[in-house]
Structure 1
Amino acid sequence: MSNVFCVAWRVSCPGLRSLSMSPSNAIPLRSACRDLRTSLPSWYSNYTGRRPFGSLMPFTPSTRHLLLVGLNSLSSVAILSRPFSSTRFLSSESTPPVEHGVQLRSEPFSTDEINAIFGKAKVSPAVGNRVLAVLQGRREAGTLDLDLPEDITHSVRKLSLDTALKFLRANYPLDEDAAILARIEREEADEEQKLIRRAEELGLYKPQSGTYGAERGEKDDPSGKSALLELRKRNEARILEQEEKKRQAWLEGEQQDLEVLKQQAEKNKALQTIDNTAALEARPRADPQQRPLLAWIQKHHLRGTDNDVDVSQMTNARRIIPSLAIALLTIGLAYVFAQNYESPLKQDRMFPETPPAAATAMAIIGLNLCVYLLWKVPPAWRMLNRHFIIVNAWPRATSMIGSVFSHQTFKHFALNMSLLWFIGTRLHDDIGRGNFIALYMAAGALGSFTSLAAHTLLLKDLAATSLGASGAMSSLVAAWCMLHSNDKLTIFFLPREWQETFSAPGWLVLAGFIAFEAVSMVTPFSAAKFDHYAHLGGYLTGTVWALACKADQKKRREERSWWEKIVSSD
């Protein structure tokens, strides 16, 4: 082991620096040396001072082992338990090469400079320049612990060597500790290369066949079987097995659905009298491997259907009363809104350049369009079936409002929104936004409740469902016709010469719509199914509201004329 430890006896050791070759939390070598000196026996205290390099004592095996144990216990630096390659120069079997060191500058130091550096010691310029060059080379190489060349130790005293080293550290500073660590790593690499070359000479790194007694991997891979590949195969097999179990359970669930529907039919006597037997039939299930999209849609359809509801446990009172409460609450809130709404100024509106009627209509159309698009997304069916469609067998009260904005077909959506745009905007201009929104919401809720009550109490049709803004649209038509009951209404897109012929008073137009609904209820004239009771509820709401509005307007006109008469008489 080289005497790396002895460099700690130099003056003012600054400690190890945090370099790429050493850990950032390395213990300073000076601190390690100080701690080690306190733990050494007293017989070694003579060697713990600043020792000149010319008289370094060769370490015996016992002292070398002692220093190694001390350094390892302090964890100051990593020191290998083998001699550094530099120690081979101490052997008598080889002659060390001449050490020239590192020249400090291009021109050698003069006699005066050498005398100033070494002081009273008489050192020739040639010897002085050689001493400085060799010491500087040792500092950069991290080999200050090795014995100096014999020509230097025989011609220069120990005190002069210390003086020269002080001069170099003061005028040519460098990180000697880092140089020591670099030397350690360098000699470790050299030893490792020696071991590798020795192993190659012995044939340890020669190519092996890999066939004798070895188990090959896939495609005759000489690397053997891959544990990761085996784990991946097991996971894939497990996933495929789980998917196959789910597939079989899905396909076998068709028969289970049929049994559930039969049990419901036996429990619910009201469902047995329904002509629409399709509601009691299980749908064939698609194979997820052959038709994955259809199977995915069917799964969400079943998830959105409440097959576990026992209709026999729900009375008509439980169906009607919560929905009636929501309808009455909506009507009350609509009345409060109409009485307290104040139209914002033009500069305060979100779209100042858009007419208020058009802005209101577009907002309602946008809400209906969003719900219509959600019906095209299977994961949303569960939420829509609960709150945006009225199921007479087990209705939810929130569907009284949600169904007003819900359409499943584009034809239904386009028809209602067209009425909203062409008739609703005109009515909006006559009555204002507050009254228009209040009428729309109140009529929608009342139309939905009328449909539920009629199908539940009158028709006993619990399998029927209803949705759409038809009730609200009917109220807008009725209110427009009654507000213009004595005005002749016509179809606006007809030629002007035909409009006079195809025109009628508003009350007569409304009567025609109501008669059409009544006839359709008795003798359906088309294959399309209309929720006539929701339409009638909307017509009733719009008519009552229009009559109340006209009565209020008449009262205000009488009060205004009476006040004008009083003012004129004064």
Structure 2
Amino acid sequence: MSTLLALCRIVATSAPPGATANVHARFGKLRAKERSSTVPPLSFRRRFCQHCLFARTVSPESLEMSNVFSIAWRISCPSGLRASPSSCLLPLSAAPAKPTLRPLCRLQRPYSSDNGRPVSPQGWGFSARLRRFQLTGPTNTVFSRSAQTQNSPPPPDSKPDQAPVEHGVPIRSQPLSAAEIKSIFGSSKVTPAMGNRILNVLQGRRLQGTLDLDLPADITRAVRPRTIENGLKWLRKNYPVDEDAAIMARIEREEREEEERIRRQAEELYRPQSGHWGAPLGEANDIYGKSVLKEFREKNEARLLAEEEKKRKEWLEGEAKEQEKIRMQLKKNTELQKFDEAAVIEARPRADPQERPVLAWIQKHHLRATNTDVDTSTMTTSRRIFPSLGVTILTIGLCYLFAETYQPPARKDRMWPDVPPAAATAIALLGANFAVFTLWRFWPPAWRMLNRYFISVPLYPHALSVVGSVFSHQQLRHLATNMIILWFIGVRLHDEIGRGNFLALYLATGVFGSMTSLAAHVLTRKLTVTSLGASGAIAGLVAAWCTLHANDKLTLWFLPREWQDTFSARGYVFLTGIVLFEAFSLVSPFKVAALDHWAHLGGYFSGAIWALWWKSKKEKEARKRQEEMSWLDRLILWSSR
């Protein structure tokens, strides 16, 4: 390429006036032909040299006498760009290397490099072709912001229609004065700022060899073309620059970049890169490009992280709002004003989800399960009692229908055919109670549902809670006590009355005990007392067993056999003693434990009533069967007694 530059310089300097423009025109034609053909770039340079050398019609004799070739092969390319000694610019090669991609933009006004007169685009010859090249490689940082093509992408941080500002190269350390600007541009009205800007941009274009490109829009709108010509003439007179060498250096840079691009394209043609040449490589230089699914996943992950951060901030900042909301509820609900405010408001500060995620997760579900949007001031006694009473009556009716219509399945149809029916029923009830206990202790997301339907709250009761609270326990000791009694008493009672009657008795007495507790607390205005547990149902089973065996001696199963005769009592005596103990505990100021005595009393009452009804029913059925018996069957029955 240095040979090419030397040849072009010799032809340009030895040719008559106008020959340089002719060389440029031939270069442009060759460049256009090169783009439309598939000839390698090296052959293009050979043809360009041939056209440059033989641009004029010469005879063989004159060619033989010419020493152009010897001079071309002996003389190296000049040292490139030369500025005036008075110029403060550093040589272009002394600027720090900055391998950036700087696309060139099209220009409507190219300027000649030899006489300063405007010429047409064909006068340069190669100007139309230069628009398709890109300027790369080391450039001077002083005018690093060059003009861009209209099709080039803007910087990532700029707006789509905002082009970088071209500052050019200052010709002096201090701007020119107003008098100097006026002397340069003549009588035209050019401000000192605009005049200095025009000179700086033109000087930068001269050094870069880009005078054929469009000038910035603010300059073309502010001054006439003749004014720009005056500035260019003044620069060429006072700050001479080898503009031809700058143009050839620009061509050489573009040629190197084009050759490198073609070489890389030829080397990588067999490697697919996301369907088209020049596509970005994937992770670890993967030739198949970037994964679209991975990009979507990364975007979704970033969005989720932003949402989590927003929720975390709202969670940490919402503690004061939540406490203020509870205080307003305390002022609005007169039933809660008698209690200490600190006991109602959550005292522990909210945990940071990033530092203590488990505690923050529990606190979130705790607040979610706490109903702070209810207005209990409008709740009356009837509204608190009647809905639950309706559910209680409906449940007892359904239990009666179930007991009357239940038919025990055959052995082959049972889920556990090898387990006795009484044990299977007791195990199922134990499993249901233990499942609800597990939700209370180990699964905070279920607390909202449990607070509504598995605990009785007289302040704002839910009607279905009288049913759900029968299977609900929050403490292991409470659960274990009830389930032990269920196993030892329930299995024996199940064998005596059957599965249908046993399940109906368990649920009906439990619901009746919960309803008794709710009504008692509402009527006594103890609205903040909550109740849950299977104690009402267990009390019903115990009362039914004692009533059915009223005249039989009952004792505690864990006593030694020799003690059981001593510590025994008839069924009705045992039941009476338990009821009296519950009544005494209810009115006594000394509380042994936090027991719901109203639910126990309701269970004892309903269980005893059911047992009396069951005994009377069995006696009627026995009398009816005896009446339907023949005299022979009666005789056999009497003799067996």
TM-score tier by shorter-chain length is 0.5 to 0.7
How much does 1:400 deviate?
1.4
Q: Which residue number in structure 2 is paired with residue 259 of structure 1?
A: 324
1:510 equivalent among 575, 590, 595 = 575
How much does 1:322 deviate?
0.9
**In 2, Cα distance between the equivalents of 1:201 and 1:560?**
114
The code of the aligned residue for 1:536 comes to: L
Q: Which residue number in structure 2 is paired with residue 319 of structure 1?
A: 384
- 1:465 paired with 2:519, answer no
**In 2, Cα distance between the equivalents of 1:382 and 1:201?**
70
- 1:474 paired with 2:539, answer yes
**Contact 2:554 2:570 (C-alpha < 8 Å) held by counterparts:** yes
How much does 1:237 deviate?
8.1
**In 1, Cα distance between the equivalents of 2:634 and 2:321?**
87
How much does 1:374 deviate?
1.5
- 1:396 paired with 2:457, answer no
- 1:383 paired with 2:444, answer no
**In 2, Cα distance between the equivalents of 1:416 and 1:382?**
25
1:367 equivalent among 423, 428, 432 = 432
How much does 1:566 deviate?
5.5
- 1:410 paired with 2:476, answer yes
How much does 1:427 deviate?
0.5
Q: Secondary structure at the match of 1:414?
A: helix
**Contact 2:422 2:499 (C-alpha < 8 Å) held by counterparts:** yes
How much does 1:377 deviate?
0.3
How much does 1:519 deviate?
2.1
- 1:530 paired with 2:585, answer no
Q: 1:529 to 1:202 in 2, by over 3 A?
A: closer
**In 2, Cα distance between the equivalents of 1:429 and 1:481?**
15
Q: Which residue number in structure 1 is paired with residue 621 of structure 2?
A: 556
Q: Which residue number in structure 2 is paired with residue 434 of structure 1?
A: 500
Q: Which residue number in structure 1 is paired with residue 372 of structure 2?
A: 307
**In 1, Cα distance between the equivalents of 2:365 and 2:401?**
40
Q: 1:496 to 1:264 in 2, by over 3 A?
A: same
- 1:421 paired with 2:487, answer yes
- Structure 1: which 5+ runs fail to align? 1-80, 84-198, 208-220
Deviation digits for residues 24-64 of structure 1, max 9, x if unmatched? xxxxxxxxxxxxxxxxxxxxxxxxxxxxxxxxxxxxxxxxx
How much does 1:281 deviate?
5.1
The code of the aligned residue for 1:451 comes to: S
- Structure 2: which 5+ runs fail to align? 1-36, 40-255, 265-284, 636-641
Q: 1:281 to 1:294 in 2, by over 3 A?
A: closer
**In 2, Cα distance between the equivalents of 1:386 and 1:482?**
35
Deviation digits for residues 208-261 of structure 1, max 9, x if unmatched? xxxxxxxxxxxxx9xxxx9x9999999988766654443332223222222122
Q: 1:237 to 1:472 in 2, by over 3 A?
A: closer
The code of the aligned residue for 1:329 comes to: L
**Contact 1:261 1:281 (C-alpha < 8 Å) held by counterparts:** no
Q: 1:275 to 1:453 in 2, by over 3 A?
A: farther
**In 2, Cα distance between the equivalents of 1:520 and 1:569?**
51
**Contact 2:494 2:502 (C-alpha < 8 Å) held by counterparts:** yes
Q: Secondary structure at the match of 1:247?
A: helix
**Contact 2:626 2:634 (C-alpha < 8 Å) held by counterparts:** no
**Contact 1:471 1:537 (C-alpha < 8 Å) held by counterparts:** yes
**Contact 1:475 1:541 (C-alpha < 8 Å) held by counterparts:** yes
1:136-285 counterparts in 2 under 5 A? 243-274=308-339, 278-280=343-345, 282-285=347-350
Q: 1:283 to 1:391 in 2, by over 3 A?
A: farther
How much does 1:326 deviate?
0.5
Q: Secondary structure at the match of 1:290?
A: coil
Q: Secondary structure at the match of 1:489?
A: strand
**Contact 2:330 2:336 (C-alpha < 8 Å) held by counterparts:** yes
Deviation digits for residues 370-402 of structure 1, max 9, x if unmatched? 111122201111111111111211111111111
- 1:345 paired with 2:410, answer yes
Give TM-score scaled by structure 1 length: 0.57
**Contact 2:553 2:571 (C-alpha < 8 Å) held by counterparts:** yes
Q: Which residue number in structure 2 is paired with residue 498 of structure 1?
A: 563
How much does 1:424 deviate?
0.5
The code of the aligned residue for 2:480 comes to: A
How much does 1:411 deviate?
1.3
**Contact 1:254 1:283 (C-alpha < 8 Å) held by counterparts:** no
**In 2, Cα distance between the equivalents of 1:238 and 1:347?**
57
The code of the aligned residue for 1:297 comes to: I
Give TM-score scaled by structure 2 length: 0.51
- 1:329 paired with 2:394, answer yes
**In 1, Cα distance between the equivalents of 2:299 and 2:568?**
79
**In 1, Cα distance between the equivalents of 2:260 and 2:342?**
87
Moved more, 277-286 or 549-558: 277-286
Q: Secondary structure at the match of 1:504?
A: strand
**Contact 1:274 1:463 (C-alpha < 8 Å) held by counterparts:** no
Q: 1:540 to 1:234 in 2, by over 3 A?
A: closer
**In 2, Cα distance between the equivalents of 1:449 and 1:201?**
91
How much does 1:336 deviate?
0.9
Q: Among the aligned pairs, what percent are the same residue?
A: 57
Q: 1:428 to 1:568 in 2, by over 3 A?
A: closer
How much does 1:444 deviate?
1.3
**Contact 1:258 1:282 (C-alpha < 8 Å) held by counterparts:** no
Q: Which residue number in structure 1 is paired with residue 62 of structure 2?
A: none
**Contact 1:470 1:534 (C-alpha < 8 Å) held by counterparts:** yes
Q: 1:253 to 1:527 in 2, by over 3 A?
A: farther
- 1:542 paired with 2:601, answer no
The code of the aligned residue for 1:401 comes to: V
**In 1, Cα distance between the equivalents of 2:557 and 2:296?**
75
Q: Which residue number in structure 1 is paired with residue 514 of structure 2?
A: 448
Q: Which residue number in structure 2 is paired with residue 92 of structure 1?
A: none
Q: Secondary structure at the match of 1:284?
A: coil
**Contact 1:274 1:461 (C-alpha < 8 Å) held by counterparts:** no
The code of the aligned residue for 1:404 comes to: V
Q: Secondary structure at the match of 1:325?
A: helix
How much does 1:565 deviate?
7.5
Q: 1:82 to 1:359 in 2, by over 3 A?
A: same
Q: 1:260 to 1:202 in 2, by over 3 A?
A: closer
Q: 1:247 to 1:425 in 2, by over 3 A?
A: same
Deviation digits for residues 325-362 of structure 1, max 9, x if unmatched? 11000001111111111222323322222111011111
1:282-301 counterparts in 2 under 5 A? 282-301=347-366
**Contact 1:254 1:282 (C-alpha < 8 Å) held by counterparts:** no
**In 2, Cα distance between the equivalents of 1:534 and 1:350?**
33
Q: 1:300 to 1:558 in 2, by over 3 A?
A: same
The code of the aligned residue for 1:300 comes to: H
